[in-house]
Every structure is written in structure tokens, then in C-alpha cells.
Structure 1
Amino acid sequence: MLKNNLKISYFALLLSILNFLLYHYPFFGFVFKNVDYQSLGGAILIVCLVIIMLVANFFVFFLFTYLSRFVGKFLLVLTFLINSVAVYFINTYGVIIDESMIGNIFNTNYEESSSFFSVKLVLYFIILGVLPSLYIIRVKIIKTTFKKFALTSALSLAFMLILVFANASNWLWIDKNSKTLGGLAMPWSYSVNIPLYFIHKHQENEKEILLPDATIKDNEKSIVILVIGESARSQNFSLYGYPKNTNPLLSQTKNLHTFNATSCATYTTAGVKCILEHTNSNKLYEILPNYLFRNDVEVIWRTTNWGQPPIHIKNYLDKEALKASCEGEDCAYDEVLLQGLKEQILASKKNKILVILHTSTSHGPSYSKKYPSRFEIFKPVCNSVELSKCSQEELINAYDNTIVYTDYLLSKVIEDLKQMKEYHSTMLFVSDHGESLGEKNLYMHGIPISLAPKEQYEIPFIVWLLDDYRQLKPNAHLTQNHVFHSVLNFLGIQSPIYNEEMNIFK
């Protein structure tokens, strides 16, 4: 029975133990999987990690509560509530709460976040979050003297330092797995990575680095439609050898070419940034649509998604703006991106046109809600946001149907371009990243690229050409950065930043 009156040191220790027991199964699951716990060195490492975890959290909880019992309780309640939600996502989807995942969270809109709601999430929140929080609120804390506070704090810090240096032989292993360990330790995963995310975000967005001015070399009428895919992995495209026919239309399309490609990252913000930049970097260089718009190219951006870098163009239409002028069932899905597109292109008075369609077709966990019912070709499908509850067949069927719908959307883009014969045209389809569908007990995406399985970074790179005006180089492998230079080449844009080696066209 938990007492309602506790000395501050006992209170901090109790909460540290509760924090350890309630939220660190994934952490030690990873440790036991990657350490030989039957050896003496492995056993010592595990024991030391347990002790360091307990002492570190004890020290922080003790410090907060001593400085202010009210503020300390508030922070502890907040910690336990966030921990419960974080552990739900770790256990359910196999995510790691690192800096990139924090970026995903802050770049998620209401529509996406609401799709994760489930009874299991509510149970996690109540049992692992609300119930411990009620005890924290109810308990009366007996404060200690400053002398005891200083002594306890000093001993805690000294003990942690001794343990850290005693494990010098394991530093290499800890450093190698630091991202995963840090992303699974509660509350350190988000309490450290949230400030890091905002610090790096502020540094990136201080000022967009402008690229050297470009010039248009000719007056030939040219269009590039760049379709940015969402969570599309190449292995589920029949164009890439997948045994199920997920590309019934594109497989019958002439002048269509596929390339093996990999993404720069496993989450949308970094993946889209990489597609639109001339080089993969942590800096915020001027992105493709902004650059071409500034240099007198007609640029059209249509999106049902989010997470792109700041867009500075005239013709920007999001999902709500597109739906306002659209009627019918298909307006609720990514086909809304094509509503009035051909007319908008033909209304342009410029010879060079770049259209970017940012889709959301294959984003989980609600794959079965990403396409109209007539595209439910493969059955049965997973209709739950708790993906681990679905069978592998149901989950993959639902995801495969999103690829069938993508196939339909791309074929419609191609048909529109075929009708505009006065333009030389091409369509590029490149996904922002891949997707895990239960392989290695992982779901969706967001694992750090250095640790991610191939399902999360092997992406489709599909190119269609209207005529023999241009041909393609025999590239064995492409990256997302090939897009920038290839678009410049096709549209006849001359720029000091252009890199011929990153261009896919002859």
C-alpha cells in the first residue's frame, strides 16, 4: 500500500522506481537483445544501466520537488502522462523517440494525429499515466533541510559518475547504440530531444540560403510534374518485381522507366527537404520551387500533406483550398490534387512550368482510409490503427491498395500530360521515405536512417516521358537529390549550382 505522507527523498525514489517499472520494458528489451547478458561483462552492464536509470531519475525528481513542491508535482504529472503516450507508440509501432521523431510529432496535423486514436491508447494513458498522476497529486511531501538536500544530491551525482567510469569498457557499445538507448529512456527521450529539435530548427530557419541566379536557356514549352509520394516503398510496386499486381495501369504505359533509389531520411520533413534541395545537408538552402519561381518559371504546388520546407511561390493550394472547388467522393482523397490542374497549366503564359503534387496516399496507420472503396482490390484489409492487432495479410493488403490507388493517380497525371502536346513533358514520382509493415516487429517509419531497415528507405523513383525529345541515362541507383538537377536540365535552366552528374536525362 502506497503511503500518503512521504519524505521528499522517499517520494523521489518511489517515483523513480515506478518510472523504471512502468516505462522501460522497451529499453531493456533492446539491451537484452543486443547484449550477451549471460556473460559477466554483459550482466554488469545491465545492472549498471538499471542503477544509473534509477539514480538519474531520482536525482531529477528530487531536485524538482525540493525547489518547489507544486511545480515539481506538476512536472512529474506531466512526465508520467507523456511517458504513457510515448510508451504506447514505442510498443505499438516500434518507434524511437529521437530528435527526428520529435520533428514528426510537431509537424503532424490534427487529421493525421487523430488517426492514431484507439482504445489501447486510452488504456495506456489511464493506467500508465492518469493513475500514477493521481497518486502524485494526492501524496503529501515532507520537505528536508538544505543540508540533507545538498548531501543527497552530491552523493547521487558522485555515484552516477563512479558507475559511468566503472563501465569504461562498455562506452563503445553505448556510443554505438546511443540513439536507440536515448530514444527509449523515459523521460530523457523527449525532454532532451524536444529542446534539441527547436534549437536546430531555429538554426535552420534563421535565413534561407539563396542559390546563385539562374537563366532560362530557350523558349521551348516544357512541363515537369513532380509527384512526391508518401510512405511508398518500392518493394510493393509490381513495377519493381512485386508478385501482386499493384501497378495494373503503369505497367501498360509506354515510355515509363523505374530506378532503384533510396531516401535521405525515414520521415517526411527531411525526405521532402532532400527531394527539393540540390544537396543533402543540414542547412536550409533555397529549395527547388522557390528557386525556379524566383527565376521566372511558373511553379504550381498542390498538397494534401504537410512537412515541406517554407514555400515562397504564388500558386500554392492546400487540401482545403482544393476541396472547396471539388465535388464528389474522390475529393476526399488524393485525386483532389488533379482537380482543375490541366486548366491551370494551360492558363499559364510561361513556357517553363513545374508542378509539384505532394500526396499522402500511403501514410499509416489508417491505410484502408486512404483510397476510395473501388480501389479495395486486395482483401481482407486491416481497419485498425493498432497495426499489430491485424494479421500480416490484412495489413499488407490495405497498404497494397494504396499503391494501386497511387498507380491510378500517376496514370491520370500521364493522361493529362499526353493531351498537352504543345509541351515537352515528363513526370517524376519519388517517395519521401518507405514504410515498415510488421517486418522485425516494426511499423510505419521514423527509425533513424543509420538503424532503419531497408523497408523504410528503399523508395520508388519512376519517370515518364511524353516523346523522344529526351532520353534517360542508364542510372543504376538514384537518390532524392537527383530530382533538383534533373528538373533544371529538363526545363533548360542554366545555373552555377547545376551538377550534371546528378541529372538523369541525357
Structure 2
Amino acid sequence: MFTLKSKIKITHFVAVLSVLNFLFFHFPFFKFVFNNLDYKSFSGITIIISLVILMLVLNAFVFYLFFSLSRYVGKFLLALFFIINSISVYFINTYGVILDESMIGNVLNTKYEESSSFISFKFFVYLIFFGIIPSIYIVKAQIVTVPWKKFLKTISLTLVFLLTIIFANASNWLWIDKNSKTLGGLAMPWSYTVNISLFYIHDFKKNEKEIILPNATIKDNQKSVVVLVIGESARSQNFSLYGYNKNTNPLLSKIPNVVHFNATSCATYTTAGVKGIVSHSDSGDLYEILPNYLFRNNVEVVWRSNNWGEPPIHIKNFQDREFLSKNCQGEGCNYDEVLLSGLKEQIQSSTKNKVLIVLHTSTSHGPSYSKKYPPQFEKFKPVCNSVELGNCSQAELINAYDNTIVYTDYILSKIIGDLKELKEYHSSMIFVSDHGESLGEKNLYMHGLPLSIAPKEQYEIPFIVWTSDGSKKLKPIKTVSQYHVFHSVLNFLNLQSPIYDEEKNIFK
């Protein structure tokens, strides 16, 4: 047994740390492996044994490199790894997330007030026992290094051994490659270290100067306004408009001219979902997004946000929660109703005939669903009040989530009510969610899984449209995408553009 006072050889030390890292943090990794291959077959057994060996040897190898090059840097990095590993595994075990590049983007773009809602007693148990206590041992350990010749010999033999294991599994490369994104998102500490690097590399490329779209021309002087409401984590299957057996849309269901379409999101996380809603195509390039494009082409554009994760927005009127709260009164100002404060008056005060208002909500974002709506909207009871969603019954969890949909229904009905009073305007309200949400189905919670393996709950979204009397009617189509928003807004405001795509327009 090694104590803090006894000296320990570097090879023994990294072996102990590799084993601890394996035991503490790789249950989710091997749970996925066992669930996705035939572990009773010869090839399945071979993959499992090989992955165990690779995990132990590769981690020990990298830890050995750290400590051989610099004992102090090695201690700092490994202590940091164990602390971050403990936090990461808490989220993986509690919410079923995978730390791929997209999830890392979510983490890095999450504000403190949102991230604090994920903290629970279990979080501190993970942090203390799997993170802080091992880190104390790492910092206090007295490590005996080896001469450079022995170091080089150990490195060379380990590399040969690792390459042998890898090539011995050549017949299993196809399975590993197929599942590489998920496996890489569950392997600690490489899931977040590699994917943080990839995120910043790709983010740098994305934030290069956006590609300007061809100029648009406004074709008439008719006063027209579109209110685009970007929903957060709303899944269509919990809207009674889509056939849900609980009445979560008591108000919208009674309003004439409300139409809903079947739709899917282009991603399962906010930053990509919002970008998809305001982009003209799924090109992957950084083209000018809808608010920037319309603002540059003489349309009044206002973006109001009670959320985060928007792509770079270059307009005059970007209004966040802090700005909107100054002139907002009432209990609703603590929720998404803050986005409606003075909305009708702002539209009426515009000196331009064409207006786009974007409202970026946060209503259905977990895990604290029960805190996302005023108490009077708690229609379905009992509700889940814990951030550890697995501790609630699924009925309680779904009740809390359904109440956020009831509140969304109320907000959308209020927007429509305001637009109806603008008699001189042709008006439309478009509601589309950034992505869906898992509520315990298949033991998954919230969102953010890679789209290729995500369940339908995370990408089947509502796409609800209302139009005022006398304005444009809707096409009799059933299925749309987030990319329909861009072209439909151009059509409703009657802007002519070379990049307009009639097939992605919902209006006649």
C-alpha cells in the first residue's frame, strides 16, 4: 500500500493512476461497449479485452510522459484531469450526455446561472471522492524518476506494444470507427481534452468573416411584420397540436389561422440549432444569417434574447434579458414573458415598412423544468423539482416539462394577440424549436447526443405558424425543416433575392 510519505517509482505511480482513472471514470464507456456489440462472441470478447488493455496502457503511457518531462506539470495536469473527470462523469451518469465536440460547445457557451441549476448533492460527492481526494494524493506523492535511457526504453517498448494491440484488432476497426465519436466522447480524460481543441479550431474557422449574400430588393410598401420565436428544447410530441393526449395547447388550439408542420432540427444542441434556423442552407460555410441579411437590406430587425448560443449578430437592436428587464413589470418578467415587454409598441414605432422580430426563449430547457414557468402554469402535477432527473419518476418529469409547453402556448397566444391589434400590418408568427429533449426515454435526459445516434425526441420539433387575416396563406405541405424559416420570411416580407428558394417557402 502506497502512503503519502513513502517514495514511489514513476512506473508504479502512473500504473496506479491509470487503474484509478479506469475504475473511477470508465463505467459509461464500457456500458456503451457492452450495449452495442455481441459481447458473447469471439470478436466481441476480443474488442472488450483490447479496449481494457489499451485504456490502461495508453493512459499510463501518457501519464508517464507528463511526469518524465516535468514532475510539477505532470502533477498539475493529472490533478486537473481527475477533478474534471469527476465532474464530467457526474454529468454523463446523471444526464446521459456524451462529451463530443458539440457538447463541449454547449459547455463552453453555457452561462453561470444556467450551469448552476445542474448542481446537486451528488455532484459534490463525485467531485470530492473521485476528484479532490485523488488529486491530494497526486500532489503529495513523492515520485522517483528514472534515467533517460530507461525512460526511452520504456517508451519504445510501450509504443511497440500499443501498435501490436491496434493492428491485432484490424478486423475490428470497422466497429470501432463506426462508434468512434461516442467512444471518444466517453473516454476520460481524452473526451474533453481532444474535443475542446477541436471546438476551438472549428470555432476559429466559423468566426472568420461571414460570406455576404447577394443583395435583396423590397418589392412593395405594405407594412409587414414577422415575429420569429425560437423555442428552446421543445419537442413536438408533447404539443397537443401534434396529437399529444394531454392538453398542452389550450390557447393555440382555439386561435384561427394557426397551422403546424412536422419538422426536424439540424442538430441536437442550441448553437447549431439556432444557426440552422437563421441560415439559408445547410452548406457548412459561414454565410450571412437572416437578421444580418435583412438588416443590411433595409429591414427593421430586433433580436430579443432570454437565452444564449446565438451566432454572431450584426444589427442595431440586440436586446438581452438585462436590457428588457429595465422596462418590464410583473411576475412574468422573471420568465420568458420579459421578451414581450413593449413588443407591440416597438413594432409600431418602426419607421420602416418591413419588420422582423426574433424572440429567443429558454422555457423548456432542463434540468429545472419546474422553475421555467410561473406557478399558475403548473397545470400537471406532481412535478419533478430535482436537478438529478433520474431521481424523479418519469411521470413527474414529464409533468414539469409539459407545464413549460403550456407556458409556451400562453406566450405564443400573447404574441398573436399583440399582432392582431396591429391592423395596418400583415403579420405572421413563426415558432420553431432549436432541438428536442429526452425525458428519460431509453434512460436518456435532455439533449446534445450526436444527431447520428440521437433518439427522435431530441430532433423532432414543433414548427407552428400563424398569419393575420388578409395576409399570405400557407402551402398545403406537411413536412418542413429549420431552413424553411429563412426563405419563408423573405417571401412574407416580399423581398426578392437571388438566393431565395421557393421550395423552402411555406407561404403561397
Is TM (by shorter chain) over 0.5? Answer: yes
Is 1:2 aligned to 2:2, yes or no?
yes
Is 1:420 aligned to 2:428, yes or no?
no
Contact 1:183 1:189 in 2 (8 A): yes
Cα distance per residue 1:161-185 (max 9 Å; x no partner): 1111100111110011111100000
Identify unmatched segments of 5+ residues in structure 1.
none
State the Cα distance separating 1:370 from its structure 2 match. Answer: 0.3
Contact 1:84 1:129 in 2 (8 A): yes
Cα distance per residue 1:261-315 (max 9 Å; x no partner): 0000000000000000001132211100000000000001111001010111111
State the Cα distance separating 1:339 from its structure 2 match. Answer: 0.4
Taking the aligned partners of 2:405 and 2:246, their CA distance within structure 1 comes to 11
Q: CA RMSD in A?
A: 0.7
Matches within 5 A, 1:182-201: 182-201=184-203
Contact 1:16 1:54 in 2 (8 A): yes
Q: Which residue of 2 aligns with 1:326?
A: 328
**More displaced 10-residue stretch of structure 1: 30-39 or 387-396:** 30-39
Q: Which residue of 2 aligns with 1:257?
A: 259
Of the three residues 206, 209, 227, the one matched with 2:208 is 206
State the Cα distance separating 1:236 from its structure 2 match. Answer: 0.2
Contact 1:225 1:356 in 2 (8 A): yes
State the one-letter code of the partner of 1:237.
F
Matches within 5 A, 1:153-164: 153-164=155-166
Taking the aligned partners of 2:245 and 2:350, their CA distance within structure 1 comes to 42
State the one-letter code of the partner of 1:465.
T
Cα distance per residue 1:111-153 (max 9 Å; x no partner): 1111111101011000110111111011100010111111111
Matches within 5 A, 1:450-461: 450-461=452-463
Of the three residues 143, 146, 153, the one matched with 2:145 is 143
For the residue of structure 2 that corresponds to 1:357, the secondary structure is: strand
Matches within 5 A, 1:276-355: 276-355=278-357
Aligned residues: 506
Taking the aligned partners of 1:477 and 1:158, their CA distance within structure 2 comes to 54
Taking the aligned partners of 2:417 and 2:319, their CA distance within structure 1 comes to 22
Cα distance per residue 1:192-243 (max 9 Å; x no partner): 0000000000011011111111110111110000000000000000000000
State the one-letter code of the partner of 2:135.
S
For the residue of structure 2 that corresponds to 1:182, the secondary structure is: helix
Q: Which residue of 2 aligns with 1:22?
A: 24
- If the length of structure 1 is used for normalisation, what is the TM-score? 0.99
For the residue of structure 2 that corresponds to 1:356, the secondary structure is: strand
Q: Which residue of 1 aligns with 2:434?
A: 432
State the Cα distance separating 1:51 from its structure 2 match. Answer: 0.4
State the Cα distance separating 1:18 from its structure 2 match. Answer: 0.6
State the Cα distance separating 1:469 from its structure 2 match. Answer: 2.5
State the one-letter code of the partner of 2:422.
M
Percent identity over the alignment is: 70
Matches within 5 A, 1:19-418: 19-418=21-420
Contact 2:2 2:8 in 1 (8 A): no
Contact 1:223 1:424 in 2 (8 A): yes
Q: Which residue of 2 aligns with 1:466?
A: 468
Taking the aligned partners of 1:242 and 1:229, their CA distance within structure 2 comes to 18
Taking the aligned partners of 1:2 and 1:497, their CA distance within structure 2 comes to 68
- If the length of structure 2 is used for normalisation, what is the TM-score? 0.99
Taking the aligned partners of 1:236 and 1:472, their CA distance within structure 2 comes to 24
Taking the aligned partners of 1:417 and 1:396, their CA distance within structure 2 comes to 32
For the residue of structure 1 that corresponds to 2:318, the secondary structure is: strand
Taking the aligned partners of 2:477 and 2:136, their CA distance within structure 1 comes to 60
**More displaced 10-residue stretch of structure 1: 146-155 or 440-449:** 146-155
Taking the aligned partners of 1:349 and 1:50, their CA distance within structure 2 comes to 67
Cα distance per residue 1:475-496 (max 9 Å; x no partner): 2211000000000000011111
Taking the aligned partners of 2:334 and 2:283, their CA distance within structure 1 comes to 35
Identify unmatched segments of 5+ residues in structure 2.
none
State the Cα distance separating 1:441 from its structure 2 match. Answer: 0.3
